[in-house]
Amino acid sequence: MSDPPGTGSKLNPLNWFRGSVGRPVPPAPVGINPANDLERFKQEIRDARELMDFAIANGQPVDDDIITGIQNAEDLLTATAMPSSGARTKFEKVYRDLARFMAPVTVETLHATSDRYGSTFLLFFRIPISEASRFF
């Protein structure tokens, strides 16, 4: 059975708010890209190292297990294939503990407040400016 013309559920704008008929369906994932997963994992290791270096440079008492875990994970930066799930789990737990210890400071906040990751301002020469300092 169909609705009379002009009153169909697809034409009723309230259905868009209700999240029912007529809402576009997102495409299904095409597949897993191991190269992207490996690069994302390596970037997490680099981020963990950067956050740990910041903590140590600022006198935070970083646990020895965290330091050892991140140093061990750095050996995985040369991997050409995704490390074993056990190695990834060990690193993720260490990174989680470091993130909890350093909260509310994160790698994203370090990047936002660092001139190294900001854009440059051209006057007579390029001056690096962090994302956070643009507003001041």
The reply to whether 120 falls in a domain is: no
Whole-prediction pTM value? Answer: 0.64
Q: What is the mean pLDDT of the segment spanning 121-129?
A: 52
Q: Is the pLDDT score of 101 beyond 50?
A: yes
Find the domain containing 56 and state its range: 34-114+127-135
Q: Is the pLDDT score of 131 beyond 70?
A: no
The reply to whether 74 falls in a domain is: yes
The reply to whether 24 falls in a domain is: no
The reply to whether 43 falls in a domain is: yes
The reply to whether 25 falls in a domain is: no
Q: What is the pLDDT of residue 113?
A: 79
The reply to whether 17 falls in a domain is: no
Q: Is the pLDDT score of 87 beyond 50?
A: yes
Helices (H), 58-132: 64-74, 85-102, 107-112
The reply to whether 51 falls in a domain is: yes
- State the pLDDT confidence band at 85, using cuts at 50, 70 and 90: very high
- Beta-carbon contacts of 65 under 8 Å, excluding residues fewer than 6 positions away, are 94, 97
Q: Which helix (H) or strand (E) holds 121?
A: strand 119-122
Domain total in the chain: 1
The reply to whether 14 falls in a domain is: no
> Across the chain, what does the average pLDDT equal?
76
Give Cα separations from 5 to 13, 58, 83 (angstroms).
15, 69, 58
